[in-house]
């Protein structure tokens, strides 16, 4: 045919396809049309935000085409099992850049925007990121829905459309101040409301029994009120594949048609109050990381989104002509920590009360559907809710939990006769004092698979908090080590490195990260090392300019960028790094001519608003910075920066510019960590403890290419058992004594000797996270880091090997593990379907 004859010259311009064309002309036309018909603007009078909206709508149109085709193919096939990833948090980050990468039209869009007279980078910088998560747990959920789409696993992410996400952090006088995150204020071009798919959720009231038409005893729930969930869908495109899934987030609204007696009686104020109460449920994300809230509204959020999602999943299942009791054949649910674990009871309620499935059948269906991922060993993060609160908010769900528990405890007694300790530890209800519902126990009873997020974490789970459960259900336990998406965290964040890698080994690696191994030989190639070094330097210059703009501090791009960015928490030990900074400062003060490697210490991270110690650590970092940065003796050899408002957008600029990655949590406390992976992928070397995924990162990159220090998890436990005495260590280490004295002298607090006392007293007398025990090991290891830095060739060789050996930590591999070990689902190729 003519189309195959490439020699035939086209007489006319290529046809423009405004809705799905991927060529420059179509994109230009589409942007111009969106600008006019959605924003009411022309190219000549547009604001930057209007332009961002028009470009994003242009991309969104193309995603919808893929989403539509994917869902049609999936729904046409009766044998597909879908994944439902349920998470109270999705820390998505900006969408425009990754979507351009996934659609493979970055260059075309760049040109289109340029020809319209603008720069794509400026437009991308305009995006306000959806910060619907706190930290690692929420960001992991975002990486996983990216990888599920890229691996062509049909999946829906289910969560809450918070009107206000994680607060914006500003620093005033060295202290954190929280500002409301109004991320929706300029509109969100990536979502579509689907009011026709709304569902209702019951709250309050009481339950009653009745006999159905077959004379069976049944229960029904007469709620006080109902809340409507409206789904908002965001397409999640796969990387260079035609599959496109979506994220479905629920917004709460008042159930207008609910028989509202106050309104009928003319109490208009009460009617409005009910509206406010309903809308409050999805109003704001709780900003606690690794801390249970215990707040009524938080339980309402959890039940609200779980009930909405399960009803939606049942509607989808029935549309496939499935029987209610076959729900598990259609769906595999992954519970992202215990936040959605009320799903176990809610699914039972739906099956038993609403579809009249027999209890035992329903229980089999529920257990076969649900799996649970644990993300923390910290006791203060294990969720439990007062039984009274449950009874008040969701009475029927509590009855079902009691029934589940009754049957389960019978099973425990018959398996372990006479073991009352086990019974009380495994009971879903904590009856040791005030009664609580233990959400982890509910998850362990009702899930066919339970997993930790790194090998060490899974082992410790099995030995410690879930030990009883391993004895009861050994076959349920798995490990799935976390991963991160290289599309966002390398391709998009670090174009310089990406292009260098592509020049060297081709462009298959972003979708197949093991390919990076081919870089290994380049570690010994001096010319390559030089290019690698210069990419890093360029990234550091960009970050240095941003640091200047955001903090006023001038930093030297050729100094070592020593970075710790993550939530501020005592177990993560940001203050251990501060002790090191002060030790270096003291060395300079004692000998101003000392030969010292110039370093820029960069911190970033938010503290939970109610976490006093974490907020004081932020103040300490800023205070030490004020002194060190301005002391002429230092001669700019040390700089300390607190980069405000660490979020995904800022993270994308920080990881590519890091030389040294600080992963220094107390061994046994960090379940996995995922920032550690993002740093290594971008060619930073790690200084770290044997904690979380650090263990596996070191295994992959090789011991020689990782700076290890500190007690092991087992040594930490031993030290605690044998009566750990931090003050004894302090008494016997002069450098440590000088560091602590300097803080207590008021040197960093304008003479105020009390300001930082809570920190130093805690270290000297309690030190639950063992900073004192690890101090000298950390300092020695940092000295080795400095020595290594002096040998540029060696440093870059090690850094290149880190990049080359990070294949394991792609979230694509994690998703493959979940598919094989837990979900038993296979990729669904929509082209072959």
> Is 375 among the catalytic positions?
yes
Q: Which two tokens stand for residue 792?
A: 């540029």
How many C-alpha atoms does 690 have within 13 Å on its Cβ side? 14
CA neighbor of 563 nearest in space, from 671, 669, 675: 675
Whether 566 is a known active-site residue: answer yes
> Among 339, 422, 567, 797, which one carries the catalytic annotation?
567
- Is residue 678 part of the annotated active site? The answer reads yes
**Minimum distance, C-beta of residue 136 to ligand NTF, in the bound complex (Å):** 3
Nearest residue (CB) to ligand NTF, 486 versus 692:
692
| Cα–Cα distance for residue pair 768/571, rounded to 1 Å | 8
> Which of residues 51 and 88 has its CB atom nearest to ligand NTF in the complex?
88
User: Cα(604)–Cα(644) distance, rounded to whole angstroms?
Assistant: 6
Nearest distance, CB of residue 91 and ligand NTF, angstroms: 10
**88 or 490: whose CB is closer to ligand NTF?**
88
Q: Which of 32, 366, 481, 674 is catalytic?
A: 674
How far apart are alpha carbons 145 and 152 in whole angstroms?
Answer: 10
Closest separation between CB of residue 443 and ligand NTF, Å?
Answer: 12
**Beta-bridge mates of residue 661:** 563, 686
Sign of CA dihedral 593, 599, 601, 602: positive
**567, 289 in Cβ contact below 8 A?**
yes
Q: Which among 572, 698, 797, 805 is annotated as catalytic?
A: 572
Cβ at position 159, least distance to ligand NTF in Å: 14
What is the 8-class DSSP label of residue 86? E
Toward ligand NTF, which CB reaches closer, 21 or 136?
Answer: 136
Rg (CA), the chain: 28
Active-site residue (options: 41, 529, 566, 573): 566
Nearer to ligand NTF, 453 or 543 (CB): 453
Alpha helices for 324-466 (secondary structure H): 327-330, 343-349, 359-369, 387-393, 395-415, 420-426, 439-446, 455-463
Looking at the Cβ atoms of 370 and 439, the one nearer to ligand NTF is 439
CB of 500 to ligand NTF, least distance (A): 28
Q: Of 662, 665, 702, 708, whose CA–CA distance to 684 is shortest?
A: 662
Is residue 572 among the annotated active site residues? yes
SS (H, E, C) 290-355: CCCCCCHHHHHHHHHHHHHHHHHHHHHHHHCCCCHHHHHHHEEEEEECCCCCCHHHHHHHHHHHHC
Give the residues lining the site for ligand NTF (CB under 6 A): 135-137, 140, 289-290, 337, 375-376, 381, 453, 482, 670-674, 692
Measured from the CB atom, the residue of 143 and 500 that comes closer to ligand NTF is: 143
Please state the closest distance from residue 380 (CB atom) to ligand NTF, in A.
9
- CB within 8 Å of 283: residues ≥ 6 apart: 162, 163, 164
Q: Within a 13 Å sphere around the CA of 762, how many CA atoms are in the beta-carbon half? A: 18
Q: Estimate to the nearest angstrom the gap between the alpha carbon of 159 and the chain centroid.
A: 13
What is the H or E stretch that residue 563 is in? strand 560-565
Beta carbon nearer to ligand NTF, 50 or 289: 289
> Are 603 and 628 contacting, i.e. CB atoms less than 8 angstroms apart?
no
Task: Pull the structure tokens for residue 34.
Answer: 């969106």
- Closest separation between CB of residue 675 and ligand NTF, Å? 8
DSSP 705-769: GSEE-S--HHHHHHHHHT---HHHHHHT-HHHHHHHHHHHTTTTTTT-SSTTHHHHHHHHHT-TT
Q: How far is the CB of 92 from ligand NTF (least distance, A)?
A: 15
Give me the sign of the Cα torsion angle 32, 34, 37, 41.
negative
Query: Least distance to ligand NTF from the beta carbon of 352, Å?
Result: 30
Distance between terminal CA atoms of the chain?
A: 27
| Shortest separation between residue 818's beta carbon and ligand NTF, angstroms | 13
Helices 526-551 & 792-804 angle (0-180, nearest 10): 90
> Could you tell me the CA-to-CA distances from 566 to 488, 695, 814 in Å, in that order?
17, 18, 21
Give how far Cα 828 sits from Cα of 54, 73, 222, 234, 320, Å: 32, 9, 42, 20, 17
The DSSP code sequence of 473-524 is -GGGEEE----B-HIIIIIIT-HHHHHHHHHHH-S-GGGSGGGGGGGGGGGG
Of 292, 334, 306, 280, nearest in space to 397 by CA: 306
Q: Is 589 a catalytic residue?
A: no
Q: Which is nearer to ligand NTF, 83 or 381 (CB)?
A: 381
Nearest approach in angstroms of CB 161 to ligand NTF is: 20
Our CA angle for 11, 15, 20, nearest 5°, is: 155
Q: Rounded to whole angstroms, how far apart are CA atoms 247 and 235?
A: 6
Cβ closest to ligand NTF, residue 221 vs residue 469: 469
Pick between residue 396 and residue 567 the one whose CB is nearest to ligand NTF.
567
Q: Which is nearer to ligand NTF, 58 or 811 (CB)?
A: 811
Q: Which residues contact 785 (CB under 8 A, 6 or more apart)?
A: 660, 685, 687, 707
Least Å distance, CB 671 to ligand NTF, is 4
Helix 574-590 vs helix 771-790: crossing angle, to nearest 10: 60
805 belongs to the catalytic site? no
Taking each helix axis from N to C terminus, what angle separates 734-744 and 757-765, rounded to the nearest 10 degrees? 150
Q: What is the DSSP letter of 819?
A: I
Q: Which is nearer to ligand NTF, 298 or 637 (CB)?
A: 298
Q: Which residue in 540, 678, 698, 813 is the catalytic one?
A: 678
Q: Closest approach of Cβ 183 to ligand NTF, in Å?
A: 20
Residue 426 contacts residue 334 (beta carbons within 8 Å): no
Q: Which residues are catalytic?
A: 375, 566-567, 572, 674, 678
């Amino acid at each position: 045919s003519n189309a195959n004859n490439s020699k035939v010259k086209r007489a006319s311009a290529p046809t423009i396809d405004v809705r799905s064309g991927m060529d420059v002309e179509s994109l230009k036309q589409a942007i111009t049309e969106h600008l006019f018909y959605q924003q009411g603007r022309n190219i000549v009078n547009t604001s930057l935000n209007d332009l961002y909206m028009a470009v994003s709508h242009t991309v969104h149109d193309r995603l919808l085409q893929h989403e539509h085709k994917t869902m049609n193919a999936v729904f046409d096939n009766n044998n597909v099992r879908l994944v439902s990833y349920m998470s109270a948090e999705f820390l998505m980050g900006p969408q425009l850049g990754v979507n351009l990468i996934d659609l493979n039209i970055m260059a075309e869009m760049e040109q289109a925007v340029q020809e319209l007279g603008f720069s794509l980078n400026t437009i991308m910088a305009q995006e306000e990121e959806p910060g619907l998560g706190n930290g690692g747990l929420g960001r992991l959920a975002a990486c996983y829905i990216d990888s599920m789409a890229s691996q062509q696993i049909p999946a829906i992410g289910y969560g809450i459309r918070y009107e206000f996400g994680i607060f914006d952090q500003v620093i005033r006088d060295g202290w954190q101040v929280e500002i409301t995150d109004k991320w929706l204020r300029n509109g969100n071009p990536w979502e579509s409301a689907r009011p026709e798919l709304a569902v209702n959720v019951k709250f309050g009231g009481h339950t009653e029994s009745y006999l159905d038409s077959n004379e069976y005893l049944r229960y029904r729930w007469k709620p006080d009120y109902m809340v409507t969930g409206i789904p908002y869908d965001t397409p999640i495109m796969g990387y260079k594949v035609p599959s496109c899934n979506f994220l479905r987030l629920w917004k709460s609204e008042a159930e207008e048609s609910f028989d509202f007696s106050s309104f009928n009686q003319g109490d208009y104020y009460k009617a409005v109050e009910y509206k406010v109460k309903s809308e409050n449920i999805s109003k704001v994300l709780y900003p606690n990381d690794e801390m249970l809230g215990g707040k009524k509204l938080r339980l309402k959020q959890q039940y609200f989104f779980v009930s909405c999602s399960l009803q939606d999943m049942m509607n989808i299942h029935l549309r496939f002509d499935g029987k209610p009791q076959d729900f598990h054949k259609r769906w595999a649910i992954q519970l992202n920590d215990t936040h959605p674990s009320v799903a176990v009871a809610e699914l039972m309620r739906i099956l038993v009360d609403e579809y009249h499935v027999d209890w035992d059948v329903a229980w089999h269906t529920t257990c076969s559907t649900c799996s649970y991922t644990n993300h923390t060993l910290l006791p203060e993060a294990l969720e439990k809710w007062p039984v009274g609160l449950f009874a008040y908010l969701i009475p029927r769900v509590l009855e079902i939990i009691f029934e589940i528990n009754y049957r389960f405890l019978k099973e425990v007694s018959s398996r372990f006769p006479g073991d009352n300790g086990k019974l009380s530890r495994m009971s879903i209800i904590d009856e040791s004092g005030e009664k609580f519902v233990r959400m982890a126990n509910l998850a362990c009873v009702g899930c066919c698979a339970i997993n930790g997020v790194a090998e060490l974490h899974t082992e410790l789970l099995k030995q410690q908090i879930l030990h009883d459960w391993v004895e009861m259900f050994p076959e349920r336990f798995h490990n799935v080590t976390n991963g991160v998406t290289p599309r966002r965290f390398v391709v998009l964040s670090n174009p310089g490195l990406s292009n260098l890698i592509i020049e060297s080994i081709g462009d298959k690696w972003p979708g197949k990260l093991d390919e990076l191994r081919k870089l290994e030989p380049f570690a010994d190639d001096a010319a390559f090392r030089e290019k690698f070094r210069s990419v890093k330097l360029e990234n550091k210059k960009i970050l240095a300019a941003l640091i200047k703009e955001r903090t006023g501090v001038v930093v030297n791009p050729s100094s070592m960028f020593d970075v710790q960015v993550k939530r501020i928490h005592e177990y993560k030990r940001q203050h251990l790094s501060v002790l090191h900074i002060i030790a270096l400062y003291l060395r300079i003060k004692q000998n101003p001519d000392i030969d010292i490697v110039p370093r820029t210490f960069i911190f970033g991270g938010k503290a939970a608003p109610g976490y006093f110690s974490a907020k004081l650590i932020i103040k300490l970092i800023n205070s030490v910075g004020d002194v060190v940065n301005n002391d002429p003796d230092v001669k700019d050899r040390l700089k300390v920066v607190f980069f405000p408002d660490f979020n995904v957008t800022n993270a994308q600029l920080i990881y590519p510019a890091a030389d040294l990655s600080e992963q220094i949590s107390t061994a046994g406390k960090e379940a996995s960590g995922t920032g550690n992976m993002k740093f290594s992928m971008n060619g930073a070397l790690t200084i770290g403890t044997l904690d979380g995924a650090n263990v596996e990162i070191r295994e992959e990159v090789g011991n020689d290419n990782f700076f290890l220090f500190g007690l092991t998890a087992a040594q930490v436990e031993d030290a605690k058992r044998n009566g750990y005495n931090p003050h004894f260590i302090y008494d016997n280490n002069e450098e440590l004594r000088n560091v602590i004295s300097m803080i207590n002298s008021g040197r960093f607090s304008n003479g105020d000797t009390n300001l930082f006392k809570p920190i130093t007293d805690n270290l000297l007398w309690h030190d639950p996270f063992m900073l004192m025990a690890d101090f000298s090991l950390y300092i020695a290891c940092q000295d080795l880091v400095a020595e290594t830095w002096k040998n540029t060739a060696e440093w870059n060789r090690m850094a290149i090997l880190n990049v080359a050996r990070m294949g394991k930590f792609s979230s694509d591999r994690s998703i493959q593990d979940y598919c094989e070990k837990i979900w038993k689902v296979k990729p669904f190729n929509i082209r072959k379907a």
